[in-house]
Amino acid sequence: MKVFIIGTGLIGGSFANDLRSAFSDVEIYGVDEKEHHLEEALVEGFIDHKAELSDLKVADVVYLAIPVDASIKVLPKVLDIVSDDCLVTDAGSTKEQLCNSIADHPKRRNYLAGHPIAGTEFSGPSAAIHGLFKYKTNIICEVEKTAFQLQEKALEIFHALGMRIRYMDPASHDRHIAYVSHLSHISSFMLGKTVLEKEKNERDIFDLAGSGFASTVRLAKSSPEMWTPIFRQNKKNVMETLDEYISNLKHFRELMEADKFDEVYSEMDKTNHIKDVLNGITKTENLKIQENGK
């Protein structure tokens, strides 16, 4: 199986690593506009060859793991080149604009829109890790527009990597992801900005920052190169989430200013319900792990 990874960073590299573990017959080609990424990917051993887009005509699978603005430009070119039997899928965090961009392409049936809910705050080939996708959800959009035999090929790969599948339309995907992913990244970036502006002494930040601050601001280490296009493409939904978030922050501030700390307590107590939601998810995941281990 000849697999072409377009974008050999954290996601592309991790996908390549897991593919190599799951399939004995896989031959992996790397495509990346950054030559040093390709060199590093070769050294790390998760690609076998460097390649160009023109080489895609021999591909069995193409995996796009590049910023979402680049995907809109690259995906139509990929579909122009690949054979009729080639599966093309991606890992983009926004789906509506990308799906719309190739809606009328003659080879639309070759493309399966995907978004694995996996990653870290790090980037580049050296950030790639084994098992990144195991027990993670992969959201698939517009599955009915993909050729059935290519759907089967994709599901075989995703299941071999240990992923769970969730189906969703692109507009719903972008709306939900704005709340559970995009907003948390903005919050982290802006918390980091606030602290850096007010705490000029970096030693104080290092000495006084506890685990709570570290975990909350972790996402601020994410790549602006990747996240700026995401915010641009999902602007409408992100703006809506920001309005609601800012409204909640203002309300919390008003309660404190008015010394209504019983209501402050009540707000936090109601929000503690998030523990039940997350614990429920964890228990479900553990059950799936146990079932898969039998």
Q: What is the Cα–Cα distance from 106 to 1, expressed in whole angstroms?
A: 24
Q: What is the Cα–Cα distance from 234 to 246, expressed in whole angstroms?
A: 18
Domain boundaries, the chain: 2-168, 173-258
Does 199 have pLDDT greater than 70? no
Does 293 have pLDDT greater than 50? no
Q: What is the Cα–Cα distance from 152 to 87, expressed in whole angstroms?
A: 10
**CATH class belonging to 173-258:** mainly alpha
Would you state the pLDDT for residue 221? 84
Residue 53 C-beta-side C-alpha neighbours within 13 Å: 12
For the segment 122-174, what is each residue's pLDDT rounded down to a tens digit? 778 888 888 999 999 999 999 999 999 999 999 999 999 999 999 999 999 99
Instruction: Report the CATH architecture of 2-168.
Output: 3-Layer(aba) Sandwich (3.40)
**Contact (Cβ atoms closer than 8 angstroms) between residue 138 and residue 81:** no
- How far, in Å, are 102, 200, 266 from residue 262 at the CA level? 54, 34, 6
Residue 272 tokens, joined: 């503690």
- Laid out side by side, the sheet with 49-50 consists of 49-50, 27-31, 2-6, 61-64, 87-90, 111-116, 137-141, 164-167
Task: Compute how many other C-beta atoms are within 10 angstroms of the C-beta atom of residue 267.
Answer: 14
Q: What backbone phi and psi angles, to 5 degrees, belong to 266?
A: -60, -40
Q: What backbone phi and psi angles, to 5 degrees, belong to 141?
A: -115, 145
Residue 111 CB contacts under 8 Å (≥ 6 apart), including other chains: 75, 79, 88, 89, 102, 105, 145, 146
Would you state the pLDDT for residue 294? 41
Q: What backbone phi and psi angles, to 5 degrees, belong to 226?
A: -85, -40
**Percent of the chain scored above 90 by pLDDT?**
69
Q: Quick one: which H or E segment has residue 241?
A: helix 235-257
Q: Quick one: which H or E segment has residue 245?
A: helix 235-257
Q: Are strands 87-90 and 27-31 parallel, antiparallel or unpaired?
A: unpaired
For the segment 29-62, what is each residue's pLDDT rounded down to a tens digit? 999 999 999 999 999 888 999 999 999 999 999 9
